[in-house]
Amino acid sequence: MVDEVLERLGKFRLTEAEQKEVSVDISSDVVLKRHGQQCLIGMSVAERSPNKEAFKATMVRVWKPKGVLFKEVGENIFFIELQSEEDLMKVQRGRPWSFDRNLVCLNTFDGRSAPKNIEFTKKFLWIQLHNLPFGGMTREVGMQIGGLMGDVVKADVNGEGIGWGPYLRVKVAINIHHPLMRGINLNMDGTKRWISFLYEGCHLSASNAELLNMG
C-alpha cells in the first residue's frame, strides 16, 4: 500500500494552469495593518481541543476587554481580535495565561503566516532564582543562570546591574515543549549550593509546569 502511494506521488505533475503564479503585495494594505495591530494568534497547549465556548468565556472573564472577537482557525488555535490597543497591551503584559490548567500561548499577528505554519515554541516567563548569595544577585549571574533555561530577555536589576532582594528575577524565553528546570547547582568561590527556580504564574510539578489561572 505504501509503495503504491509513493509510486503515485512520483507520477504527480502540475498542470499548465496549476503552474501559474499569483503575486500579491500586502505591505501597503492599510485596512490589514489597522486591524492586525490589535490582533493575536492564541494556542491552548493541550493534548485535546478545548471547549471553544468555555475558552472564550474564560478569557473574556479574565481579560475584561472592551470588546473581543474569537475565531477558531486550527486545532487549538484561535484568531483573537481585540477592540482597543489598551486591551491588547493589558493582555500582553499579563502573560502567562492559562485555560483549564493548560498554557495559553499568544503570538503577534503579522498577516504573512498561514494558521498551520504558526509556531508556538517559546514563552516569556519571569523566573525567580532563590537561595542566591548577595554576591550572585547581579545581571551577569542572572544572565548566566537564565541562559541554561532559554534566551534571557532581561534581569530585574538596577542601573548598576545589582538586584539585591529575597531573590533575583530574570525574564527568559523558554521552549514550552521542554520540561522546566527545578533548579541548578551553583559553585561560587568553592562553595556549592542549590539554586531553586520559581516560575511566576506557574506551579512546578515533578516533570514539568502546570500553569495556574492568573485571573
Read off the pLDDT of residues 6-40 as tens digits, 9 standing for 90 and up: 556 566 677 888 777 887 665 655 455 556 678 99
Return the percentage of the chain with pLDDT > 70, whole number. 80
Assess whether pLDDT exceeds 60 at residue 204: no
Instruction: List the single range of 45-49, 52-56, 159-163, 210-214 with lowest mean pLDDT.
Output: 210-214
Is the separation of the CB atoms in 95 and 153 below 8 Å?
no
Output the CA–CA distances (angstroms, integers) from residue 3 to 11, 12, 98, in the order listed.
Answer: 13, 14, 44
Predicted model pTM:
0.61
Q: Which residue has the higher pLDDT, 3 or 94?
A: 94
The set of residues, in sequence order, having a beta carbon less than 8 Å from that of 109 and lying 6+ positions away, is 36, 39, 40, 41, 79
Q: What is the pLDDT of residue 210?
A: 45
- What grid cell was written down for 111? 498577516
Q: Which residue has the higher pLDDT, 5 or 123?
A: 123
Assess whether pLDDT exceeds 50 at residue 213: no
Band (pLDDT 50/70/90 cuts) for residue 2 is very low
Phi, psi (deg, nearest 5) at residue 2:
-65, -45
- What grid cell was written down for 182? 527545578
Q: What is the pLDDT of residue 145?
A: 97
Query: What does the pLDDT look like over 44-71, one tens digit per residue?
Result: 887 777 888 999 999 999 999 999 999 9
Range among 79-88, 117-126, 160-169 with highest mean pLDDT value: 160-169
Assess whether pLDDT exceeds 70 at residue 81: yes
Range among 8-17, 79-88, 157-166 with highest mean pLDDT value: 157-166
Q: What is the pLDDT of residue 23?
A: 78
β 97-99/168-175 pair status: unpaired
Class of CATH domain 30-113: alpha beta
Query: What does the pLDDT look like over 100-153, one tens digit per residue?
Result: 878 888 888 776 677 677 777 788 889 999 999 999 999 999 999 999 999 999
Is the separation of the CB atoms in 125 and 174 below 8 Å?
yes
What is the number of other CB atoms lying within 10 angstroms of the CB of residue 164?
12
What average pLDDT is seen over the chain? 82
